[in-house]
C-alpha cells in the first residue's frame, strides 16, 4: 500500500488534511515543552503510586499505627493508589494523543466508572 508523502501535506487546525478527515495518523513531532510535560506527568503517576504504597506498608508494619486516625490516612492512601493506577494512566494516554480519546469504547465504559469510583473516596475522606 502506497502512503502519500506527508511532508507535502498540510494539516489545518482541526488536524484533518486539506479540510478532509482521512482517519489516518499523520506524524506530528512533539515539541520540547510537550515532551517535558509528559515526562513530568509520567513521573508524577509513578511517584503517586509508589509513595502511597509506602504509606500503606508503613501503616501495616508499624503496630502503633493501628489506630483510628491512621485508618483515615490508610483510606486516603488506598484511594490515591486507585487514582494513580486507574485514572492517571488513562489521562496520560489521553494527553499523549493530543486530548483525543483513542482507547476505544471498552475503555470509555470501563474508564468512566473506575475514575468515579477511584476519585469518590478521595473526596469523601
This prediction has a pTM of: 0.62
- Does 3 reside within a domain? no
- Does 108 reside within a domain? yes
Could you tell me the residue range of the domain that residue 91 belongs to?
32-124
How many independent structural domains does the chain possess?
Answer: 1
Average pLDDT, the chain: 74
Query: pLDDT of 89-102, one tens digit each?
Result: 887 887 777 777 77
3-state SS, one letter per residue, for the chain: CCCCCCCCCCECCCCCECCECCCCCCCCCCCHHHHHHHHHHHHHHHHHHHHHHHHHHHHHHCHHHCCHHHHHHHHHHHHHHHHHHHHHHHHHHHHHCCCCCCCCHHHHHHHHHHHHHHHHHHHHC
The more confident residue out of 40 and 29 is: 40
Amino acid at each position: 500500500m502506497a502512503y502519500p508523502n506527508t511532508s507535502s501535506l498540510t494539516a489545518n487546525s482541526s488536524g484533518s488534511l486539506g479540510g478532509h478527515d482521512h482517519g489516518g495518523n499523520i506524524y506530528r513531532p512533539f515539541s520540547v515543552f510537550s515532551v517535558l510535560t509528559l515526562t513530568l506527568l509520567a513521573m508524577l503517576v509513578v511517584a503517586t503510586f509508589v509513595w502511597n504504597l509506602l504509606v500503606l506498608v508503613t501503616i501495616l508494619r508499624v503496630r502503633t499505627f493501628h489506630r483510628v486516625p491512621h485508618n483515615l490516612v490508610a483510606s486516603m492512601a488506598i484511594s490515591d493508589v486507585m487514582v494513580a493506577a486507574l485514572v492517571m494512566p488513562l489521562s496520560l494516554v489521553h494527553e499523549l494523543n493530543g486530548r483525543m480519546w483513542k482507547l476505544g469504547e471498552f475503555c470509555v465504559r470501563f474508564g468512566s466508572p473506575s475514575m468515579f469510583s477511584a476519585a469518590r473516596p478521595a473526596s469523601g475522606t
